[in-house]
Structure 1
């Protein structure tokens, strides 16, 4: 007891001594220093609902994986906090542009109005025999009977356009291969893309991409000939524009289904400091995109599609290049260069701003800066989307905002 009393007396003396000496208070070790907390600090990998400062919109349902790895359907205007279906690790808030599944009857491979089977001895299809990725008994079993394949009837497709064909497959007992193909459905029956995929006894989504090069019809095949599995479970077939599949869009009938684009906006800007501040975003790009600039965390003077980029403070990227910076009156006052990680890898961008004083760190790398430029006066804020509706498929993992310009060492540490 006496030793504890002595300890607290020494500690009290030390604190009193330091508080009375402004000179010695400057020599406090770094461990005592505590940075100012962020004005906004959101970890979307841990949230189950959005903060009150944000408004989310999506005019359709959409699918996502829950923490148990089961595919769920979110109702309209409901955000999706997605999980990896294999590792069950949280991936963050899923944000996607609009997409349309043109593969009719995406879960009913035995419907003659949507799917066909061909070959020397056509395969047979048994409907609703096992549990699908969404937990329902809606997965079909395809049985090889000699050299056979099944394919879908599709609506009209466009020439010189890339399509991606995706499907969930699972082996009933023994792992093996299945061939996926994108093929001309007339003329020379040219194969535009094909791949042998390794199917295991666990559900996995496979995809291939092909570009239609002529005006003939297009078809998407599952082939189970010699050397491949004789049985496979199939579910959730999807065909859409692009090169990487978006989240699954169920098509229960003979009409295509569209998932609407998503927006996430600030419903208040009371937290924003127009004089100085710091933006930080941690995110994962799901797809490789074209050269357009897509905002991760953007602050704009207007929310008008044609003019919003003229005055902006933003964290953004374009392909694997950053698009982060500050624009005032259509002039890029801070336009740093740099690269972000490839799709599927976490990115971190941190930028601080003040008139004639701008700094950025990409993926915790060295800070670059610009010491010239005025600031815009943003009145609108967007996360994972932007006023013109264009967006990149992403997981938004963390967002932070400080209403001061933090130090460069803190910038790198975010």
Structure 2
């Protein structure tokens, strides 16, 4: 392997992991790109100091210990608290369960790429016996449920086969009976795999919203007005999802999961003996689905918390960097919170307004600076850098400087804990954290732009 030494007036980089071939170097917006045989490689920008606190969750080491995959970040200084177990996708694309107080390093189920640390707001699966559709709590119509016939997305033989037992022009489904609130948004989901029937569906009988899913193509075939439907390939299954809002008055409280031979409706003649495999039913209040939460006779609430600890904080100047992929916001959630007052946020996001910074500098929480909210960007992921220095505060998002304001601060309140995607009062910004770094120095303008450029 040929070593390539890459230098510029502001950056220095030496690497031995680039392929041999014709090399062209480009310096754009303070970031080096190496183009080798028409392939482009980004070279990490050189920063004048090393971070004193750094965890690159998206660059994790994964090893197999003979029984399970063990995933650890490249470097870490943190503790995790979680009130219960919770699920994630491992490097093989299977659904795994993290035990209490253990982090969830999640992977892309299609490519096996390490995505980072999964952090979610508190959710409840409202459906009981989520993996036992043969249980009497589930109503059945025109089909037979046979338990534990198929390998499920978690690698266990716990998925149920659901086959038509009557060739009738009616519904072929399992049904959950439950209470839902009026004027409330819910998301229903289930894992489904084709056996002999091409289409599956989810139906909300409260306002007759439904979605039909093509198990051949992996595409949503139809969704009723007012619903948002999607499907995701995981562990040999599709997780089909539907989001809907209940009306102002509810007549029925019923959620259906079923199979159909028609692309345009959930009502069709399914020949006797045809059907699908089902596993992991879920219904939760929220506009997006969270990770799967298994239940039996009672519901289950995941709650993951991450805290970074360290005495490296410089009260005169600091730079906080985070890279994350959001799922949703609940109210005002902290992207980086601290150990003291609930509103002592390095920066935060609001689902309806945008990003902002709050800074409190003395015990007791005197507000010394609160930035105007920055319009929330329409981006799939974010690289954000908040820079605190005497008399000045800056915020960089995805390669742009969006805040550069003066303040009255001469020394910032000591911060001993950093809370990723979380405030001290428990409000969480749901998403995947890929990278966090703390620099005990105000980084330069060029360093900030380079570090946050997508």
1:337, CA displacement in angstroms? Answer: 3.7
> For the residues of structure 2 that align with 1:217 and 1:367, how far apart are their CA atoms?
48
1:240, CA displacement in angstroms? Answer: 1.1
Partner of 1:216: 251
Partner of 2:204: 182
> For the residues of structure 2 that align with 1:124 and 1:342, how far apart are their CA atoms?
45
After superposition, the CA RMSD in angstroms is 2.4
- TM-score, normalized by length of structure 2? 0.74
Matches within 5 A, 1:18-167: 29-31=9-11, 35-47=48-60, 48-49=71-72, 53-111=77-135, 113-118=136-141, 122-144=142-164, 145=166, 146=168, 147-167=170-190
Match of 1:377 among 388, 413, 416: 413
1:297, CA displacement in angstroms? Answer: 1.8
2:53·2:310 contact (CA, 8 Å) conserved in 1? no
1:281, CA displacement in angstroms? Answer: 0.5
Partner of 1:250: 294
1:139, CA displacement in angstroms? Answer: 1.2
Matches within 5 A, 1:299-378: 299-300=338-339, 302=340, 307-309=341-343, 312-319=344-351, 321-328=354-361, 329-331=365-367, 333-342=369-378, 345-366=380-401, 368-374=403-409, 375-378=411-414
CA, structure 1 residues 109+317, in 2 after alignment: closer, same or farther (shift >3 Å)?
same
> For the residues of structure 2 that align with 1:234 and 1:362, how far apart are their CA atoms?
42
1:42, CA displacement in angstroms? Answer: 1.5
1:52, CA displacement in angstroms? Answer: 5.7
CA, structure 1 residues 93+412, in 2 after alignment: closer, same or farther (shift >3 Å)?
same
1:100·1:258 contact (CA, 8 Å) conserved in 2? yes
1:314·1:324 contact (CA, 8 Å) conserved in 2? yes
The answer as to 2:282 corresponding to 1:262 is: no
CA, structure 1 residues 226+264, in 2 after alignment: closer, same or farther (shift >3 Å)?
closer
- Alignment size in residue pairs: 363
CA, structure 1 residues 378+336, in 2 after alignment: closer, same or farther (shift >3 Å)?
farther
1:293·1:323 contact (CA, 8 Å) conserved in 2? no
> For the residues of structure 2 that align with 1:234 and 1:71, how far apart are their CA atoms?
15
Partner of 1:386: 423
1:129·1:138 contact (CA, 8 Å) conserved in 2? yes
Larger radius of gyration: 1
CA, structure 1 residues 218+330, in 2 after alignment: closer, same or farther (shift >3 Å)?
farther
1:331, CA displacement in angstroms? Answer: 3.2
Deviation digits for residues 328-350 of structure 1 (CA, Å, limit 9, x no counterpart) = 5453624144344447x111111
1:178·1:197 contact (CA, 8 Å) conserved in 2? yes
> For the residues of structure 1 that align with 2:182 and 2:366, how far apart are their CA atoms?
37
Deviation digits for residues 368-395 of structure 1 (CA, Å, limit 9, x no counterpart) = 3012331540333211222101112110
The answer as to 2:271 corresponding to 1:207 is: no
1:65, CA displacement in angstroms? Answer: 1.0
SS in 2 for 1:409: helix
1:212·1:218 contact (CA, 8 Å) conserved in 2? no
Q: Which has the higher strand share?
A: 2
Deviates more, 1:360-369 or 1:395-404: 360-369
> For the residues of structure 1 that align with 2:106 and 2:318, how far apart are their CA atoms?
30
> For the residues of structure 1 that align with 2:237 and 2:356, how far apart are their CA atoms?
37
> For the residues of structure 2 that align with 1:273 and 1:195, how far apart are their CA atoms?
53
Deviation digits for residues 54-110 of structure 1 (CA, Å, limit 9, x no counterpart) = 111002111111111111111111110011212211111011122111212111222
> For the residues of structure 2 that align with 1:136 and 1:98, how far apart are their CA atoms?
26
CA, structure 1 residues 34+275, in 2 after alignment: closer, same or farther (shift >3 Å)?
closer
- Segments of structure 2 that go 5 or more residues without pairing to the other structure are 1-7, 13-45, 61-70, 219-235, 264-269
